[in-house]
Structure 1
Amino acid sequence: MASEGTKENPWKLKTPPMTSEYEMYKDVKDDKEVIICVVGKTTLLYDARCLTDLQTMLKEHGDWMDLGSADEQKPAKDGTVEAWGRSENNPVGGWYGLKKGLRGRFGMYVPPLMEKLGLAEVTHEAKNNKMRAK
């Protein structure tokens, strides 16, 4: 059996409120390591370095941080994981989402993977979820 986190054996995850299921796996696209996120018939791509960069930022933050998930076309609430995932001040200087038009929702789909990998804790309320580094 393929190791978990591959196209053949993706991580099976649920959104922070535990209402929707989706899958993620690592791959290489255009010589860049990426995380592919499959939600229903929609596929999103994230720069794989987001996992270590986000954990580092959360450790420096030192406390719970709101997820603040938002679509690319909507502004992200300041001080949230979503805002950091698109900020010019993060380590990649902008979006970790790589698929134009679908670069948002960083605060929805990346935190559960971080939790699965043991890199962070995530709350699972109906709304206003948060995360912190482990």
Structure 2
Amino acid sequence: MKEQIGTKQAPLALKTPPLSSEYTMHTDVKDGKEVLVCTVGKTVLLYDYRCLDDLYAMLKQHGDWMELGSADEQKPAKEGTVEAWGRSPENPVGGWYGLKKGLRGRFGMYIPPLMEAMGLAEVTHEAKGNKMRAK
């Protein structure tokens, strides 16, 4: 699965759910932890690699489409969205999958297209209000 995500030398090119912005994703190790490195312009976000398996399992259990609800860390996430789950004390890591303080949000923007590219999920591509579900 990791080889699909790319390397620092050859990252995977992706587009946000509305298909309005491009970004890249690759795997790396930081402080002994496997991470997803998401580069948007000059901004680098880090997510715990295990979010892929955890989100897939949650979506399978949910069984239907779930709104993405992407939001910056400083803004509250809409209840019942992928973003809210990605920062919830009720998820398997007990909080944020985003690892870079101040830039831990946007889980619902950048992780779903990666999961779609990996063949794990379907994602809608509307201007707003996008959703995902497990494949």
Contact 1:3–1:9 under 8 Å retained in 2: no
Q: State the 1:97 CA deviation.
A: 0.1
SS state at 1:26 partner: strand
Q: Which residue identity is paired with 2:32? A: D
The root-mean-square deviation of aligned C-alpha atoms, in Å, is: 1.1
Deviation per residue, 1:76-106 (Å, 9 max, x gap): 0000000000000000000000000000000
Q: Which runs of 5+ in 2 are unaligned?
A: none
Cα distance between partner residues in 2 of 1:78 and 1:40: 29
SS state at 1:59 partner: helix
SS state at 2:105 partner: coil
Partner residue of 1:9?
A: 10
1:19 paired to 2:53: no
SS state at 2:114 partner: helix
Alignment of 1:46-57 (within 5 A): 46-57=47-58
Partner residue of 1:39?
A: 40
Cα distance, 1:3–1:84 mapped onto 2, change above 3 Å: closer
Q: State the 1:5 CA deviation.
A: 1.1
Cα distance, 1:128–1:32 mapped onto 2, change above 3 Å: same
Q: Which residue identity is paired with 1:111? A: P
- TM-score for the superposition, normalised by structure 2: 0.97
Cα distance between partner residues in 2 of 1:116 and 1:8: 19
Partner residue of 1:28?
A: 29
SS state at 2:84 partner: helix
Give every structure 1 segment of 4 or more consecutive aligned residues whose post-TM-superposition deviation is greater than 4 Å. Answer: none
- TM-score for the superposition, normalised by structure 1: 0.97
Q: Which runs of 5+ in 1 are unaligned?
A: none
Cα distance, 1:4–1:106 mapped onto 2, change above 3 Å: closer
Partner residue of 1:123?
A: 124
SS state at 1:9 partner: coil
